Structure 1
Amino acid sequence: MDRISELPDELLVKILMSVPTKVALSTSILSKRWEYLWMWLPKLEYLHRDHCSEPGCKRLQSFLDRNLPLHRAPVIETFRLESCSSHFKPENISMWVSTAVSHCLRELDILHDDTEPAKSNILPSNLFTCESLVILKLVGEILLDVPRVVSLPSLKTLKLQSVRYFDEETLQWLLSNCPILEDLEVDLRDYDDESAGKLTVVVPSLQSLSLYIPYCQDIDGFVIETPNLKYFKLMDHSISDHYCLIEKMPCLIEAYLEVKLPDMKSIIGSITSVKRLAICSEAIMMLGEGFVFNQLEHLEVCFCTLFSSDRVIELLLKASSNLKRLDFSFMDHHVPQGMVYWNQPTTVPECILSSLQSFSWSKYTGEPEERDIVVYILKHALHLKTATIKSSESSAVPKFEMLEELALSPRASATCQLMFD
């Protein structure tokens, strides 16, 4: 007998936990000593890349049907299943999940790309009364049909991406029975034939919320009441006319807003206590000057916003009197566009004179409109410590020329370090 096989079962199981489940299962053929060790694994992951062919799926289905009910681990820490086709029958998946739940399941992660969505009800009822469940992630063609009896007292993380909801009350009913939920991510479906109706998130315990509404999603509106939220990400790309009602978030630390809504008042009004804000919205100018970010220290503005109006910089800077860091950049996958002519503010915003310490510009082209803004900030920022300029590869202005021009421009701060990338 080899030396490894002489180790106690507990140590061998720990060794198997360090390799993919597929590899761990293959050790069962080594000897009688290894035959059933995998059944004590607390982490089970069955990924589509390992079983994506029809024969592979059938073999896995037969294996799980036969062996999962015999699993011996008292606690299954993680059960992860990725299905890339309709080879798995919904009733089989439901049975596997139900079995995992019976082992004090702590994390369930399912990705299910079924070509027959009408058959996508794969969640057993006992999942919704699992007292041990801490993390639940559902992605793809999964019908979320929450039963009348729901109790998830330990659930802290919930991710719902492109799932189908039984009706517009489903999500609200589920959330109302998660008393300590802290992290919620909801991505609505792209190109869905059915309207999402009203989306309601009322969770007092929530600390992190990410909401994605795609371009073609028909939604009536959304309501958010999360008084203890610390992180808020809203990507609202919908072109349909809809309302948003958001209660104030006094504990908010960081927010990421990427929205097309013409009415931003409810959103901005709820996040005025935020400390770090990234924003992309051409509708920001619709607000006027009635809002104040009195705790904002770090502001990142997407060029889509910056280039939409000649007064958007002035508006944001005047509202942020304690700003310490200012970044201009493109958010993910956003396409560059021409900048409008910039009118300098009649009075220098307070943050530039008193608090701004760091400034950066990504994909700088050296065009007059961009140069004027950078020169203005260098000229007036009394406490600026660093100014970082990252040039654009597509710029028509030679890199050396644009950088030399900025290097020779006047700076209000004698300690400002100008860096080029």
Structure 2
Amino acid sequence: MAKFARKLTPFTSNERKSEYHAEDRISELPDEVLILILSFMPVKEATRTSVLSRRWEKLWTFSPCLELDGSRELFNIRCHFWCTSYNPRREKEVLDSGRLRYINWVNRALESYHACAVDKFRIRFDLNERYRCDIDEWVRFAFEKKVKRFELDLSLYFGGVCNKSGSYPLCLQTLPSLSSISLTSLVLKQVNVSDEVLDNLISNSPFLECLCVGGSESLIHVRVASRFLCLKCVEIVMCVNIKSLELHAANLSSFKYNGPDIFINFMNIPNLVELCIEGLYVSYFARKMPQLSTSFSQLQKLALCVIHIEETMKRLEYPTLSHLKQLELHVFLHGDQSLLVFSRLIKACPSLSRLALELNWFKSATYVGRNVKKAKKRVHHSLKMVEVKKATKKKCVHHSLRVVEVRGFIGHTIDTKFCMNVIKNAIKLEKIIIDPIDPVVRGTPHENLRCEKVEAARVAAEKLRSKYFLGDKLILL
């Protein structure tokens, strides 16, 4: 063995020498290429390259993309308090300290920046009007650098806006001359932007393709209307005081709305192929679909977030959506409800190839009728069975449905019957994906909690596999 080791020693030594004297190919690249590589990295990672050599020291300051994303640190702070005993006062102190660190870091990064123009500028952290002076300076900096993709995300979590007071107000005085805006994408989350400011930004941005506004209390009457607009994507989310919305954009291909029940004037949207409706407006939209069918004749993807199934979807007639290929249903279950009320909607989509169902269970849904008298519960159950039989009396065969995904499956009668109905009627089904993890905690430190319930859901899913001979068609996550 020692003899064999001696034979290997010279080879190993030479190999190490060749590695040590290996040619540095990266340093041979021109600065323009290195800057392009750095532009794909977050600022925090890009700045670390400044210690490599004197040449690398300033390279990151010429990157056209400034990804000033502090959401990971914010998430870690909140996770710490989720996993320990809740202390509001201590949490506020830690968050305020984190906010100051983030602000100082952003200010240092912008002071060191040398590029003449910015392609992408992103701010992501939980900040409010207390830090208005610093945020104003960041906004001016970005627009003076002729920013193309601007994102100001001051929400509590990863892009999740909510109704909270004290949000940062974006004013016209903060913005430089609006006559020379180069925006192609504008994202404002948890930012109070008024009708006047938004109208000025839209009308002075001829190349704007993407617009997203979330959590603004100042929006009242929104008008996205111009035959010259390049807008392809519009999102209006959680603007609680909004009263009306007018859409007149011939190039619009994707629209998302989550908010109160308001009047939305769909005037000229011939290229709309993706539509997402959430919040209180879902009920109005579901009732008015026959009248709105001419505006949505080209739809290929529809997503609905339904909070009250019985009130929203029961006994509704739907127009035929002949081009619809993807249907996403985000459902909140409050009790002993039937998912088969969606059968009519699915039937109205003859070209549907993918169906995604996300279930959010309230505590009352797990144990049906816990506080209801037994006699009343039996009558209620009988009525439900009659309703379900009526819904399934006429067999609804799906000729195009190939992929079904159910997230938040718990193996309850409600979701099991829905899966059974789809399996029986989807004659070209290629795969059914079942995820027993609660969608709310998926991807968070709480994902592995409630192991017993998840295991019970897996057992119920396996019964479906054996009962309907699904084999590899059933994918259990």
TM-score computed with the length of structure 1 as normaliser: 0.66
| CA drift at 1:277 | 1.8
* Distance in 1 separating the partners of 2:460 and 2:28: 71
User: Is residue 2:450 matched to residue 1:394?
Assistant: no
- The runs of 5 or more residues in structure 2 that have no matched partner are 1-23, 75-96, 156-165, 369-383, 438-451
User: Is residue 2:341 matched to residue 1:312?
Assistant: yes
> Which residue pairs with 1:210 in the alignment?
235
SS of residue matched to 2:198: helix
Which structure is higher in helix share? 2
Q: What is the aligned residue count?
A: 372
For residues 155-214 of structure 1, what are the alpha-carbon distances to aligned partners after superposition, in whole Å with 9 as ceiling and x for unaligned?
Answer: 21011222223x43332232122222111111133xx4xx63212222542111121025
| CA drift at 1:222 | 1.8
Read off the aligned partner of 2:224 and give its amino acid letter: V
User: Is residue 2:366 matched to residue 1:321?
Assistant: no
Read off the aligned partner of 1:329 and give its amino acid letter: E
* Distance in 2 separating the partners of 1:416 and 1:52: 48
Instruction: Give the direction of change, closer, same or farther, for the CA distance of 1:403–1:93 in structure 2 (3 Å limit).
Output: closer
* Distance in 2 separating the partners of 1:111 and 1:58: 17
Compare 79-88 and 358-367 and name the one that shifted more.
79-88
> Which residue pairs with 2:250 in the alignment?
227
Contact 1:257 1:279 in 2 (8 A): yes
Match of 2:117 among 75, 79, 85: 75
Read off the aligned partner of 1:296 and give its amino acid letter: L
Contact 1:227 1:247 in 2 (8 A): no
SS of residue matched to 1:372: helix
Compare 269-278 and 366-375 and name the one that shifted more.
366-375
* Distance in 2 separating the partners of 1:16 and 1:354: 49
Aligned-residue RMSD, C-alpha: 4.9
* Distance in 2 separating the partners of 1:7 and 1:419: 46
Read off the aligned partner of 2:399 and give its amino acid letter: S
For residues 269-327 of structure 1, what are the alpha-carbon distances to aligned partners after superposition, in whole Å with 9 as ceiling and x for unaligned?
Answer: 23342112221234643783142211111212223389866663222022112212223
Equivalent residue runs for 1:160-179 within 5 Å: 160-165=188-193, 167-179=194-206
Read off the aligned partner of 1:303 and give its amino acid letter: V
Compare 173-182 and 397-406 and name the one that shifted more.
397-406
User: Is residue 2:463 matched to residue 1:404?
Assistant: yes
Instruction: Give the direction of change, closer, same or farther, for the CA distance of 1:279–1:272 in structure 2 (3 Å limit).
Output: farther
Match of 1:345 among 388, 392, 406: 392
Read off the aligned partner of 2:190 and give its amino acid letter: S
| CA drift at 1:44 | 5.5
* Distance in 1 separating the partners of 2:404 and 2:154: 44
SS of residue matched to 2:345: helix
For residues 83-118 of structure 1, what are the alpha-carbon distances to aligned partners after superposition, in whole Å with 9 as ceiling and x for unaligned?
Answer: 85778773x7656755665555545555679xxxxx
* Distance in 1 separating the partners of 2:30 and 2:431: 58
SS of residue matched to 1:317: helix
> Which residue pairs with 1:128 in the alignment?
none
SS of residue matched to 1:169: helix
> Which residue pairs with 1:361 in the alignment?
406
Contact 1:61 1:88 in 2 (8 A): no
Contact 1:384 1:416 in 2 (8 A): no
SS of residue matched to 1:219: coil
> Which residue pairs with 1:275 in the alignment?
300
* Distance in 2 separating the partners of 1:355 and 1:46: 44
Match of 1:196 among 210, 216, 219: 219
Contact 2:302 2:328 in 1 (8 A): yes
| CA drift at 1:16 | 7.7
* Distance in 1 separating the partners of 2:434 and 2:153: 41
User: Is residue 2:319 matched to residue 1:295?
Assistant: no
SS of residue matched to 2:332: helix
| CA drift at 1:405 | 5.2
* Distance in 2 separating the partners of 1:143 and 1:266: 35
User: Is residue 2:278 matched to residue 1:250?
Assistant: no
* Distance in 1 separating the partners of 2:109 and 2:460: 67
Equivalent residue runs for 1:30-69 within 5 Å: none
* Distance in 2 separating the partners of 1:158 and 1:169: 16
Instruction: Give the direction of change, closer, same or farther, for the CA distance of 1:284–1:305 in structure 2 (3 Å limit).
Output: farther
Read off the aligned partner of 1:312 and give its amino acid letter: V
SS of residue matched to 2:417: helix
